[in-house]
Structure 1
Amino acid sequence: MTREEKSKVIEDITAKLAETSSIYLADISGLDAGSTTALRRACFKADVKLMVVKNTLLAKAMEASDKEFEELNTTLVGNTSIMLSETGNAPAKIIKNFRKKNDKPVLKGAYVEEAVYIGDENLEALVNIKSKEEVIGDIVGLLQSPAKNVISALKSSGQTLSGVLKTLSEKTE
């Protein structure tokens, strides 16, 4: 690879790191071709971009980025794959589901919304992070719940009230 090609790859990786809010570093070495293809398909379905990169090029791209990746530099040992996603927990869910049948990928580290997670032991915490859509759904559900209670109370009391009025009007006749 020539210097120009390397600088172009570094620029491309830097741009992808800048435009993505969730970046996972994983080790997928040791997966056979079929398993790797299955992992790539799972990533594609979940709108996660999976790339295998050289550690030196990734380190230079991380250094050139505006984001704070210093803590992740320690994880750049051995084979490294990058999983890029706009949803904070999507790559973690893919890794967890994929490891039901395989022992890889192993989470090396993650950068999710300016928080850095180092090590595979953080996988469960990353899976439990709620996505933006899930948080919005929870908020809407919480906001709707009191209104639903008021409406149902008014409906039931309205029926009761109309029943009482009807009974009273029949008695007076």
Structure 2
Amino acid sequence: MKKEVKDTIVVELGEKLKEFAHFYLVDVHGLDAAKTSDLRRKCFKSEIQMVVVKNNLLRKAFEASEIDFEPLYSCLKGSTAVLFCNTANVPAKLLKSYVKEGIPTLKGAYAEEGLFVGADKLEELAALKSKNEVIADIVALLQSPAKNVVSALQSGANTIHGVLKTLGERPE
């Protein structure tokens, strides 16, 4: 591969690192063409961009980045694919569906502004909530007390109305 092509690839990887908030490094060694196509198809449906890269070029893109990715350098061995996404837990959930097959496996990840190294971190990554999920939880928590107050006021109004009606209908 010519140096100009390598430089272009490093620049493109650097742009993807800036564009996407999260990425996963995945070992794809042992995937045949059909399984790779299936993985790419599932990634596309989940809004994940999958890029198979040369480890040295990815390392150069890491080094050129403003973020310190040094803990991920040890993951750059063997066949590596990078799964770029904007929702941290989506690739982890996708990879969990492949656990029984054993391929692909997680090498490391950058998610929620934290570095995760090792396949044992898959459960932690899958358990992360996306920004939208956290916002929905907060809204639900904020709405709950208001709903309780409105409900209590409505039931109290019916009770007071019933008492007044009964008292009004009573002979004196």
TM surpasses 0.5: yes
| CA displacement at 1:127 relative to structure 2 | 0.3
Does structure 2 retain, via aligned residues, the 8 Å contact 1:109–1:117?
yes
Look up the match of 1:152.
151
Query: What is the root-mean-square deviation in Å for CA atoms of aligned residues?
Result: 1.1
Q: Give the deviation of 1:114 after TM superposition.
A: 2.1
Q: Which residue of 1 aligns with 2:75?
A: 75
Residue identity over aligned pairs, in percent, reads 51
Gaps of 5+ in 1: none
* 1:169 aligned residue: 168
Residues 63-113 of structure 1 deviation map (CA, whole Å, 9 limit, x = unaligned): 10111101001110101100111101111011002334x211110000113
CA distance in 2, matches of 1:85, 1:159: 52
Q: Secondary structure at the match of 2:68?
A: coil
- State the partner residue of 2:46: 46
Matched residues in 1 for 2:34 and 2:169: separation?
78
Matched AA of 2:154: K
Deviation of 1:146 after TM superposition, in Å, equals: 0.3
In 2, Cα distance between the equivalents of 1:47 and 1:152?
Answer: 41
Distance 2:124 2:112 in 1: 14
Which position in structure 2 is the counterpart of 1:92? 92
The aligned length equals 172
TM-score (norm 2): 0.96
Match of 2:123 in 1: 124
The TM-score normalised by the length of structure 1 is 0.96
Q: What CA deviation, in whole Å up to 9, does each residue of 1:13-57 have, x standing for no partner?
A: 001011211111010121122221221111111111111000010
Q: What amino acid is aligned across from residue 49 of structure 1 in structure 2?
A: Q
Structure 1 segments of 4+ aligned residues over 6 angstroms from their partners: none
C-alpha distance in 2 between matches for 1:82 and 1:109: 10
- Aligned partners of 1:23 and 1:82 also within 8 Å: yes
Contact 1:18/1:66 (<8 A) preserved: no
- Contact 1:92-1:127 at 8 Å conserved across structures: yes
Q: Provide Cα deviations, 1:117-173, integer angstroms capped at 9, x if missing partner.
A: 110000000000000010000000000000010111111111111111111111157
Q: Distance in 2 between matches of 1:170 and 1:36?
A: 79
Partner amino acid for 1:107?
A: L
Q: Gaps (5+ residues) in structure 2?
A: none
In structure 1, the residue matched to 2:28 is: 28
Counterpart in the other structure of 2:55: 55
> Does the Cα contact within 8 Å between 1:68 and 1:114 map onto a contact in 2?
no
Give the residue type in structure 1 aligned to 2:92.
A
In 2 relative to 1, CA 172–41 (structure 1 residues): closer, same or farther, beyond 3 Å? farther
